[in-house]
């Protein structure tokens, strides 16, 4: 049997995506509550994601969303990591800027514990990709698109996407005018 380079690259990316999801799960947490969740999108689901990103970009006149959608199209898969909208329940806390969790939830705010855990999880996942020499980029735009298509549990309203690719030069950098978020 001969296994060609392109098949090895695809297999390696998918294996690393699984390791990234695992790293997100085992990443240190600010508390004992685990609100981190994730999925891996390929094929038609990845296509739905990039289309949602384009639609948001056009509707809100955010060119970076459309640019990032092209990166998603050219990626083997996209790892999506989000956090459930479950307040920690510490009263008093106030780290979110509200008096307590009930006020935060009522006003549509976000629990600082959940967001901190999400950031740590995303960093852990991206580190796994980098450690395995898989090209990647953390994208707000892909996370926003993922929430829009509903690929995560219903109570997830914040996520980030990490598209993965293998090429002689990363497709996620030197992307031309407008390459910065704002």
pLDDT in tens, 118-146: 999 999 999 999 999 999 999 999 999 99
Percentage of residues in the chain having pLDDT higher than 90: 77
Q: What are the residue boundaries of the structural domains of the chain, listed by start? A: 5-86+119-165
pLDDT (0 to 100) of residue 23: 99
Alpha helices in 27-139 (DSSP H): 43-59, 63-73, 101-107, 112-131
Closest CA to 139 of 115, 161, 156, 168: 161
Strand order in the sheet with 156-165: 36-41, 77-84, 156-165, 135-136
- Residue 92 is predicted with a pLDDT of 83
Any residues with CB less than 8 A from the CB of 152 and at least 6 apart, and which?
Answer: 37, 38, 39, 80, 82, 146, 159
- 177 pLDDT band, cuts 50/70/90, is low
Classify 120 as helix, strand or coil: helix
**So what CATH class is 5-86+119-165?**
alpha beta
List the single range of 3-7, 45-49, 105-109 with lowest mean pLDDT. 105-109
**By three-state DSSP, how is residue 54 classified?**
helix
What 3-state DSSP class applies to 38? strand
Q: What is the pTM of this model?
A: 0.92
**Is the pLDDT confidence value at 181 over 70?**
no
């Amino acid at each position: 049997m001969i296994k060609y380079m392109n098949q090895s690259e695809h297999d390696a990316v998918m294996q690393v995506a699984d390791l990234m999801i695992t790293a997100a799960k085992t990443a240190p947490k600010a508390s004992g509550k685990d609100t981190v969740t994730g999925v891996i999108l390929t094929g038609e689901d990845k296509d739905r994601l990039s289309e949602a990103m384009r639609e948001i970009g056009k509707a809100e006149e955010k060119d970076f969303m459309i640019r990032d959608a092209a990166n998603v199209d050219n990626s083997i898969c996209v790892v999506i990591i989000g956090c459930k909208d479950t307040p920690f329940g510490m009263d008093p806390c106030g780290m979110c800027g509200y008096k307590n969790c009930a006020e935060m939830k009522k006003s549509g705010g976000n629990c600082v514990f959940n967001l901190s855990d999400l950031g740590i999880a995303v960093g852990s996942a991206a580190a796994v990709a980098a450690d395995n020499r898989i090209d990647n980029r953390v994208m707000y735009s892909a996370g926003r698109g993922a929430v829009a298509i509903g690929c995560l549990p219903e109570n997830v309203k914040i996520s980030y996407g990490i598209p993965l690719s293998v090429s002689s030069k990363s497709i996620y950098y030197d992307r031309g005018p407008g390459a910065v978020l704002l």
